[in-house]
Structure 1
Amino acid sequence: MEKTQKSTQQKIKVEHPYGFPFKPYQVQLDLMDKIFETLSKNQKIGLFESPTGTGKSLSLVCSILTWYTGKQKTEEQKSQTNSDWLSMFDTTDTNQAMNHNKQIFKKRVYSSLNSNDIREIQSNLKQSKSKCTNIQYLLERQQMNLQTNRDEHIISYDSDQEDKKVKLKNITQKAKSLSSGVGSGNFSILKQSAKDRQIIFCTRTHSQISQIINEIKRTEFADQISVVPIISRRGLCVHEKLKDITNSALLNEKCQDLTEKSNCEYNDQKLTDIISDSIVDKVHDIEEIGNLASSLKICGYFGSRKAMAEADVIIRYWFSMKLITQWRLFAHQIQSKYLIVHQKLLAIKSKNIQVIYSNYDNLLAKYGSRLSPKNHKYLKDIVKVVVILNNFLQKKLNNPNEIEQDKQEVMNVMDLLIETDLYQVDFVKLYEFFEKSDLVRKLNGFIQSSIKLDQEKGQSKQNIQTFNKSVLYEIRDFIRILSHNPNDGKMILNLSFKQNQQSSIQYLCLNPTTTLKRILDQIKAMIFISGTLEPSQEFNLLLKYVDQDQISRFNCDHIIPKQHFQGLIIPNYKNIAFDFRHSQRSNQQQMTNLCEIILLSSQNTPKQAGVIVFLQSYGYKQQFLNYLKQKDDIMTQLQEERKIFEESQDQKIDVFQEYSREITKNKRGAILFCVIGGKLSEGINFSDDLARTVIVVGLPYANSQSIDIKEKMRYFDLQGDQSFKGNDYYENLCMKTLNQSIGRAIRHINDYACIILVDQRFQNRNIMNKLPRWIQSRIKEIKQSEQDLLQDLQQFFKYFEE
């Protein structure tokens, strides 16, 4: 009997599905089942929507790591069976064991190289007529060939031999890392071989990276895997003269300059090996890595990047997707307005064109005779591109038929290339030269040394051409864009006739399908997961070349009970229809009715809670608040109910912190006026009392006259897909922004909130269908204005009082 009592008193560890730290809710279990099934079936794409507050980050982590560790264990067991590792530790014959150990390591080195790698090594050894068969020798020989005495600004890139040389170097470096433990008696190499399979979590903000790390720490997988977060230099730099620089671009510049000159004492290879090993040893969050770097006086930035090779999980910002060539599994947490990959403008400014031209010309003049013929040609081609683009812009600005008024023009990429006679340039080769010759570093070094020399000579500062290194990257990236399919985008000319403003050429990507296809060809799977994935029709166009059997789709219901959410649509009030389109939103009777709805909602929301009012733009927010202040009676009553806060565009004051303090610390009600699509509509958690009532005013349509919006709409109209036209794109852009704002209020299973949508257009079935599905099933329309609104609010909040 006593034994029974003791056993029941002992803490029993309960194992939950997918290593979840507690018993998952059914919606979480459904989501994890679907993600695990997608990976197990080797499907290529996963599109998952899980509402904000349902624990999707933890569900994503647990399902993927369950799949990952399970598969990893199976393969390790196979490897152990095939290689008979236990024989290494046989002490009956030490010499025989050591010889066997060497053979095992050698076998492991070669087994980690594919057949093409081995043929490349063998071919190179035959050509050099060397009898040596040691892989290490090949690496040393390659390095010796590179270490020749030459001017540091001379470009030694050989386009004909570079591909082969880089391939050999990569192979031998890989072999070196695998074989470094041979004969040393240290068997740690078995655990340190480079990963051939990795999980990459891409998020959009610093806080989301921390969230993923903390979720991993909560699981049983924290002791089984290595996790490396990748962030910028800020927070990880330990150099006394650099770490306090707040400007990221300037910090990057200074760091790169020190690194190129090997003058950073904190970025020594042996030192970064130490912190790299520490990072992969256990799961660290960003702050812990920063503290570790500070205590060890070792660069955390380069240490964490070195640790990437040995990481099971890498967590980084989503815009680093260009590094995806290393990736094997891509878990992408996205915000709704980032559904389309690489949909952005890339610009090159006229002033920067002139800066580059003058310095390229100087480099050619000084070193032109010492360059190889091909390098000389490529450098001249870059100068040619820069000069022609500069002349093209100047010609546009100097056209006597043009009225001197700022304007924008749109051109097809091929039309620009034909008009400027650049269509014959091989931009693919040119970009390759730019990258592999290390041109940015060498040209930057040349420019800086020229500036220093001029200063030493005491020449006038007016004659010294200064610039930011990012200018060089502008040219490089623009050349990369010109190497793409010219039908995938448009050129936008921003012509400015004002003295203090620059003209520019911008590239607008219209079709990211090519980029996405290139990514998908190099990875195992891509998972998109968001709280507001809908509307998602763009994915159908992006993935039209992917077999539909390779795409998995799933939409979760919300985790909260149905009575914890109330959605209300108010299309009219006191017989006046609400229409907040630009031409109608200044109607005074409409604004008066909106003031009354805000007051009524505020009076019937719990006294110590918060009310959020989302308006369409900063301009209209200010216009409405000015009007509200003129309504003395309403303003007085509103101020008696709650303290008023408003989001500002410059954000000199942390209004969210002040608003939160009023509710959570001072225990007083507050109301916050902010903007849909503004800083407070994304990534901010208005949980619990911070948002018991959310009022959304109008639909946040983008400016239809914006040139990039017009070109995107025209592009979709010309695709001939009747299910998705330009207007669908325009409407979806609006609804994604709206859905993101709505999702701020409900953050966990016990949370509750009332969402009020004010505009007659919310009655439109097409608009309703683009709201998150969990909201669609829980929303109703107010029929009798004031009376119905009052009754619905009182009944909803009364449930929680009881």
Structure 2
Amino acid sequence: MPRLRRTEFPTFPYATPYAIQIELMRRVYDAAERSKTLGVFESPTGTGKTLSVLVGALSWVDDRRKARLRGEKLDDEDEDDAAGTKPSDTNEPDWLREYDTKRRKTDADEVERRRGARRAELRARAKAAETRVTLKTNAEKRLREKIESTSTTQRAIDPHTAEENEFLVDAYDSGAEGAREDLRALLRDDEEEDDDEDDFSRDEDEALRPAQQIILCSRTHSQLTQVIGELRSTVFGGKVAKAEEQVAAAAIAGRAQLCVNPAVKNLGSAARINERCLEMSKSKTTAKDKAVKACPFLSKRRRALLELKEAALAKPMDIEDLAKLGTTRKACPYYAARSALPEADLVLMPYASLLHADTRESLGVKLENAVVIFDEAHNLVDAVYNSYGASVSLEQVRDVLDMLTTYVDRFETRLSASNLRYLKVLTNLTRAFVNVLQKEIAEVKKSAPEKRLTSLNDFLFECGQDTVNMFSLRRYLKESKVAHKIASYGERIRAGHDASWGGDWDGVGQVKIEAVGGSKFAVAPDPNANPRVSAVHALTSLIDALASADTDGRIIVERDESGTSASVRFILLDAASRFKRVVQQARSVILVGGTLAPIPELVSQLFPELNAATSKTVESSAHALKMFSCGHIIPRDNLLPLAVPVGPTGVSLDFTHGARSNVALIDELGRIVLNASRIAPGGACVFFPSFKYADDVYERWTKSGALASISAVKDVYREPREASALEQCLRDYAVSVRGDGAVTAGKPRGAVLLCVVGGKLSEGINFKDELGRLVIMVGLPFANIADAELKARMDHLDAGVGNQGRGRAYYEALCMRGVNQSIGRAIRHVGDYACILLCDQRWGACGTSASRTKAAKALPDWIEQRLVVPERNFGEIQMRLAQFFKARTRQS
């Protein structure tokens, strides 16, 4: 059957898209249409990447809908076709083919009619609910004002009569009492129409659910919020009133992000929030003798939950919008979002929620026939590693052992033989972990290494637990949910509620009841008082990891710097072994990013069976790999990348690990920053390989006077290690660059910001326009090759026939990905301009501009093509720098 194709995209919200935007939309469209395609598409930040991806993917969804209405047979509609067991249409008579087309068209018309009616109903009900809630809120406000205004004003309390107050009758006013009763009736309005069903979703015809879902993932919720903003600018997001094209979108997040119950969200850790939510969601009563009541945002809120779900589907909302609406309507945004997921055409979620199989399953995310798009995909390999990593400390396993022992002692006579058997295995395993980690601390006196690497099997043998069936134990923990019960009971013991507890699992101890916004919520204990809940889940995650194949990962046992504590950590070695589950289930998988280079290494990490080193298109028996890297929309002259192999006094810039502490080299770097700061306007971002080296350089510049010289030209700021101080640092930097601070010759002085590759400022922060006119990269940020985790991954990649060199390629790719992310902070839109100084002789020696070094070839194409290597000395660099900014000043 013919494939759908599209070369023009009239739904793009701007009149004339750039050629590279059209090409990216076409690539995304084709990858979605061709089942089992793996797309890897690089489009620099500032080129409208996210908007192009959305329009390309949603145009495909819309075209598939229209093709069904025409009666066309699509590749996902006939299982016999997919299996290759049905005869070709060419062998069928014309009348039969015409009948099939007519039948498909009739069926599609009916589905589209019902689906359209459903979407129209959603929008109408959402609007009606909004009106009703507004009226109800206003009425509630008026009643509260009436109560307040008609209540007797309290007199000042005489300290001599205070002890008699308990005998004083409460102030009474008939008007106020009537208002109170009206208010109580108003607040009961939603509850009276509810029932006790768990499932608050309407029973919808399965045929009304979207035939295809687009699942778009990014690293952070803030990035997904930006996606929602882009969606709203298109017809698919409702900008133009074309109901048949508007999509239903669902933003998925965890309880920690979406919970609006103060008693739960203030618990602090995600583990405790999850535990409390699960307990409160199971409770069906609000009786006063319950340790924890049912959640007032979930229990008996069926109508409000339905309305919140429908509002989420009626128009695109990010998680902040959803949480605000949930608060207003007193309904749980987390469960409303989960309920909306099956009906959504577009699902937005963070990497972690999709990559981990158990999390994906718990959310109800279905990958079958879905197109999965990973935005900002340069982080994807690390995200897979992090999703399946696990770590537990000595303090945590001690806590778990204590909770296990207490739990078994209390319930031994009430537990089944099977439960007792597994709990005994779990207790012995936990005790073995405690013994190993205690022994590790004792080794500090023998000058043993702080970190050691071992295989999974060897670690279990060391613990004396090599006969334990980890697969069976993992299944028991998952199916019995005993970890949840142990954690709940352990916290109840700490909260002092055990004496009166009779075996009811509906909650964790509470301290008091506090009125919040007219409703009562259980107020939790101090979130810092008990970290034991997270300890149980940390151990469960480690056991889950220990059930992996021995070749999939390694165990790292390490002591802290003080030598007083130790931990055991599982690291995943093979990202592809976990990512392939996504690839196998999804219709297509598309990786998109502003800076994916070096792309071949990214592909080899996630799709090792496909060799991307020599071709833009790779076919295998199961999948087709399509790669595309586009240029930038900025004029060629708006970016000047310069290799800087030598400094102003002729010192060679050798920032290799063994040479970079040379005082003469650090002083030369100071002269480079000073000279460049005198020429470049606005802000300059200097990226160092590590925080330690940045500290060493800063200390030397302070002693040598270089810092004072630079500060005389521009204000100098340093990236803080603490995330809490980052916002203030950026605010101060922006003030110095844009004005409101000291000025020189009537203009803002500008500023120099000392940053670190891999830090908060090297990714996700936009230094557009004057905030980033100059970027200076100091050396190449290679990781410590002796690090146990890095070495284990490199050795794993090198293992096997024909794999020699893969470990080194991975090591170099880590470095270059950090470089590319950092230097990409500056150019953010079509009119932006900046200069990049690559300070290291490894970028190219003077006079070698005709050839490209290995590092230069790993740059994104649009930067590498512009790279200039000086013919003679630093004077040439300084001249080019001055000419560049002089030309840009004339243009502006």
Q: TM-score range by the shorter chain?
A: 0.7 to 0.9
Deviation at 1:77, TM superposition (A): 6.3
User: Which residue matches 2:614?
Assistant: none
Alpha-carbon distance in 2 for matches of 1:735, 1:64: 30
Tell me which of 216, 221, 231 is aligned to 2:253: 231
The one-character-per-residue Cα deviations of 1:123-173 (angstroms, maximum 9, x if unpaired) are xxxxxxxxxxxxxxxxxxxxxxxxxxxxxxxxxxxxxxxxxxxxxxxxx99
Q: What residue in structure 2 maps to residue 97 of structure 1?
A: none
- Counterparts in 2 of 1:118-137, with a 5 A limit? none
1:782-801 alignment to 2 at 5 Å? Answer: 782-801=870-889
Q: Among residues 471, 492, 508, which one is paired with 2:571 in the alignment?
A: 508
Percent identity (aligned): 28
How far the C-alpha of 1:238 sits from its partner, in A, is 2.8
Could you tell me which amino acid in structure 1 is paired with residue 598 of structure 2? P
1:736 to 814, 817, 833: 817
Conservation of the 8 A alpha-carbon contact between 1:405 and 1:497 = no
The residue number in structure 1 matching 2:735 is: 661
Query: How do 1:36-51 and structure 2 match up within 5 A?
Result: 36-51=29-44
Aligned length: 685
2:492–2:498 Cα contact (<8 Å) kept = no
Equivalent in 846, 851, 854 of residue 766 of structure 1: 854
Any unmatched runs of 5+ in structure 2? Answer: 1-7, 72-103, 115-196, 239-245, 285-293, 502-528, 611-618, 741-746, 845-851
Give the 3 Å change call, closer, same or farther, for CA 194–444 of structure 1 in structure 2: farther
- TM superposition shift of 1:553: 0.9
Match of residue 24 from structure 2: 31
Range 248-257 or range 202-211, more displaced:
248-257
- Kindly indicate whether the alpha-carbon contact (under 8 Å) linking 2:487 and 2:532 is maintained by their aligned counterparts in 1: no
Equivalent in 328, 332, 341 of residue 299 of structure 1: 332
Question: Which residue of 2 is the match for residue 604 of structure 1?
Answer: 679
Contact 1:350 1:390 in 2 (8 A): yes
1:570 aligned residue: 644
1:492 Cα deviation from its structure 2 partner? 0.9
Q: Report matched runs for 1:450-469 at 5 Å.
A: 450-451=493-494, 467-469=531-533
Does the aligned pair in 1 maintain the 2:441–2:565 contact within 8 Å? Answer: no
Q: CA, structure 1 residues 225+605, in 2 after alignment: closer, same or farther (shift >3 Å)?
A: same
Mapped to 1, the partners of 2:390 and 2:108 lie a distance apart of 52
Q: Residues 675 and 495 (structure 1 numbering): CA distance in 2 closer, same or farther, change over 3 Å?
A: closer
User: Which residue, 589, 598, 601 being the options, matches 1:526?
Assistant: 589
1:214 Cα deviation after fit: 0.6
**Relative to structure 1, is the Cα distance of residues 767 and 266 closer, same or farther in structure 2, using a 3 angstrom cutoff?**
same
| CA distance in 1 between partners of 2:561 and 2:262 (Å) | 44
| 1:329 Cα deviation from its structure 2 partner | 2.0
Within the alignment, does 1:489 sit opposite 2:553 as a pair? yes
Which residue of structure 1 aligns with residue 519 of structure 2?
Answer: none
| Paired letter, 1:285 | D
Matched, 1:351 2:439: no
Q: Name 2:384's counterpart in structure 1.
A: 342
In the alignment, which of 458, 467, 474 is matched to residue 538 of structure 2?
Answer: 474
Match of 1:494, SS?
strand
User: How many Å separate the matches in 2 of 1:467 and 1:339?
Assistant: 30
Shift of 1:584: 1.7
Report the Cα distance in structure 2 between the residues aligned to 1:768 and 1:87, rounded to whole angstroms: 53
1:267 aligns with 2:298: yes
In 2, Cα distance between the equivalents of 1:684 and 1:791?
30
SS of 2:569's partner is: strand
CA distance in 2, matches of 1:792, 1:440: 64
Q: CA-to-partner distance for each residue in 1:26-62, whole Å, 9 max, x for gaps?
A: 1111111111111222233111111121111111111
1:199 match:
214
Give 1:601 shift.
1.2
Q: 1:694 aligns with which of 775, 779, 782?
A: 775
Match of 1:615 in 2: 688
Decide whether the 8 Å contact of 2:271 with 2:533 is kept in 1. no
- TM-superposed deviation, 1:190: 5.4
Would you say the 8 A contact 1:397–1:497 is kept in 2? no
Residue 633 of structure 2 is aligned to residue 559 of structure 1: yes
- TM-fit CA distance, 1:497: 9.5
| Contact 2:68 2:108 survives alignment (8 Å) | no
For the residue of structure 2 that corresponds to 1:572, the secondary structure is coil
Matches within 5 A, 1:62-461: 62-75=55-68, 81-82=106-107, 85=110, 180=203, 189=204, 193-195=208-210, 197-223=212-238, 224-233=246-255, 236-243=258-265, 248=270, 251-261=273-283, 263-268=294-299, 270=302, 271-320=304-353, 321-322=355-356, 323-324=359-360, 326-327=366-367, 328-340=370-382, 342-344=384-386, 345-397=389-441, 403=446, 407-451=450-494
Deviation at 1:266? 0.8
Residue 678 of structure 2 contacts residue 713 of structure 2 at CA under 8 Å; is this kept in 1?
yes
Structure 1 distance, partners of 2:551, 2:777, is: 39
State whether residues 773 and 833 of structure 2, in contact with CA within 8 Å, keep that contact through their aligned partners in structure 1. yes
SS state at 2:454 partner: strand
C-alpha deviation, 1:369, in angstroms: 4.1
| Local SS of the residue matching 2:868 | strand
Residues 393 and 503 in structure 1, CA contact (< 8 A), matched pair in contact too? yes
Residue 280 of structure 1, CA deviation: 0.9
Looking at structure 1, the residues matched to 773 and 413 of structure 2 have their Cα atoms a distance apart, in angstroms, of 73
**Structure 1's 245 and 662: CA in aligned 2 closer, same or farther, altered over 3 A?**
farther
Q: Residues of 2 paired with 1:497 and 1:41: CA distance?
A: 53
1:564, distance to aligned residue in structure 2 (A): 0.8
Give distance in 2, aligned partners of 1:394 and 1:568.
53
Distance (whole Å) between structure 2 residues aligned to residue 550 and residue 741 of structure 1: 31
Higher relative contact order (CA 8 A, sep 6+): 1
Q: Give the AA of the match of 2:732.
A: E
Q: 1:762/1:522 Cα in 2 relative to 1: closer, same or farther (>3 Å)?
A: same
In 1, the alpha carbon distance for the partners of 2:540 and 2:210 equals 31
Q: TM-score normalized by structure 1?
A: 0.79
Aligned position for 1:106: none
Deviation of residue 447 (structure 1)? Answer: 2.4
Paired residues for 1:617-766 under 5 Å = 617-632=690-705, 635=707, 637-651=709-723, 652=725, 654-666=728-740, 668=748, 669-722=750-803, 724-763=805-844, 765-766=853-854
CA deviation string 1:179-237 (max 9, x = no partner): x4xxxxxxxx4599444532211111232011110111111111311112123445643
- Tell me if structure 2 keeps the 8 A contact 1:192–1:310: no
AA aligned to 2:314 is: D
**Per-residue Cα deviation, 1:86-105 (whole angstroms, up to 9, x for no partner):** 9999xxxxxxxxxxxxxxxx
Is structure 2 residue 852 aligned with structure 1 residue 776?
A: no
Counterpart contact for 2:455–2:553, Cα < 8 Å: yes
Residue segments in structure 1 that go unaligned for 5+ positions in a row: 1-14, 90-171, 181-188, 459-464
Deviations 1:315-347 (A, max 9, x none): 111111224452222110135244355224421
Greater CA deviation, 507-516 or 770-779?
A: 507-516
Counterpart of 1:540? 604
Residue 305 of structure 1 deviates from its aligned partner by 2.3
CA distance in 2, matches of 1:684, 1:497: 32
Distance 1:588-1:434 versus aligned 2 partners, 3 A rule? same
- For the residues of structure 1 that align with 2:112 and 2:446, how far apart are their CA atoms? 85
- Structure 1 residue 769: Cα displacement: 1.2
Aligned-partner Cα distance in 1 for 2:396–2:256: 26
CA distance in 2, matches of 1:61, 1:83: 25
Cα displacement string for residues 742-776 of structure 1 (whole angstroms, at most 9, x for unaligned residues) = 10000011111110100111127211111111111
Is residue 31–residue 590 contact of structure 2 (8 Å, CA) maintained in 1?
A: no
Deviates more, 1:300-309 or 1:684-693: 300-309
Distance 1:192 1:243, change over 3 A: farther
With over 3 angstroms needed to count, the CA separation of the structure-2 counterparts of 1:423 and 1:603, relative to structure 1, is same
Partners in 2 of 1:58 and 1:716 — Cα distance?
36
State the distance in 2 between where 1:708 and 1:337 align. 18
Q: Distance in 1 between matches of 2:774 and 2:207?
A: 53
